[in-house]
Amino acid sequence: MTTLEEAAAHWREWFDRGEFDEGAARVEEALNAPGADTPSIDRVRVLYGAHLLAFRRGEPSGAYARECLELARELGDVRGECDGLTGLAREALRACDYPKVAEYAAEGLRKAQAGGDRAAEGSPLHLLAAGTRLSGDYDRARELYLESVALGDELGDERRKQQEFHNLGWVELHRGDVDAAERMFDERDARAGLDAMGDAWTDLNRAAVALARGRREEAARLFGAGERKLEELGAALDPDDQLEFDWVSTQLAT
């Protein structure tokens, strides 16, 4: 039987390794264990983990985010509040409701800043950047992703930097700076091994650069390799990644 304490300590490892089905089963077991419904910080942490794992599996995840937020407020847990608001922003992102994404993410940032918790700023800042990017404001999205990279530097969070260099690569492609995009993808690749989903995108990132440089045969080969890796992982794409996947796929088909 997985306890809340165990799930709170390890859900991120399951998520990063791409063990989405096992992770979801373990956190659900922990949330439903005898006595697990007693309000606690561990339950807040596991609820956020349950949200992210469900989201990655393409399942409804808003209920977990809402309970996370409500319980965190009850306990006065700033980090949990930010996580819950980030979860709601992530659900809004999937629904293409970008004003709501900005609303939830900005509230999460304010909570973290008011509480003096720099680490808690990370997730809402990332969602604010993602919503800005999907709304088409690539210049502002670039600024926000760079803020997130700087936060990763400050906190020594290489996983955050890896994630944001991936996103910055795509932003730079849309801004028309292929050289900058390639540099961002190189920075992402230098941190390979921290996140299974991110690593599955390596070939797709390179495919986009090759396509932008007019190397269609190379792009098609890399895209096919990346697509197979994603299929093996068996996870639902984030809305921003789905947009980019479809964008490259459409260009290769024309």
Band the pLDDT of 254: cuts 50, 70, 90. Answer: confident
Residue 18 domain-assigned (yes or no): yes
Residue 22 domain-assigned (yes or no): yes
Tokens found for residue 224: 């096919």
Residue 52 domain-assigned (yes or no): yes
What tens digit of pLDDT does each residue of 85-113 get? 999 999 999 999 999 999 999 999 999 99
Tokens found for residue 19: 């063990």
Residue 121 domain-assigned (yes or no): no
Model pTM?
0.93
Question: In terms of residue numbers, what domain contains 72?
Answer: 1-76
What tens digit of pLDDT does each residue of 9-19 get? 999 999 999 99
DSSP at 42: H
Query: What integer pLDDT is reported at residue 1 of this predicted model?
Result: 80
Query: What integer pLDDT is reported at residue 26 of this predicted model?
Result: 97
Indicate whether 213 pLDDT > 90: yes
Nearest to 167 by CA among 113, 121, 194, 131: 131
What tens digit of pLDDT does each residue of 135-184 get? 999 999 999 999 999 999 999 999 999 999 999 999 999 999 999 999 99
Residue 126 domain-assigned (yes or no): no
Residue 29 domain-assigned (yes or no): yes
Spell 200-222 as b/e; 16+ CB within 10 A means b. bbbbbbbbbbbbbeeeeeebbeb
Separation between Cα atoms, residue 179 and residue 249, nearest integer Å: 21
Residue 207 domain-assigned (yes or no): no
Nearest to 231 by CA among 209, 195, 204: 204
Query: What integer pLDDT is reported at residue 234 of this predicted model?
Result: 87
Tokens found for residue 226: 């990346």
Query: What integer pLDDT is reported at residue 229 of this predicted model?
Result: 94
Band the pLDDT of 194: cuts 50, 70, 90. Answer: confident
**Residues listed for the chain:** 254
Residue 39 domain-assigned (yes or no): yes
Query: What integer pLDDT is reported at residue 144 of this predicted model?
Result: 98
> How many separate domains does the chain show?
1
Q: Which helix (H) or strand (E) holds 243?
A: helix 239-253
User: Mean pLDDT score of the chain, rounded to an integer?
Assistant: 95
Band the pLDDT of 220: cuts 50, 70, 90. Answer: very high
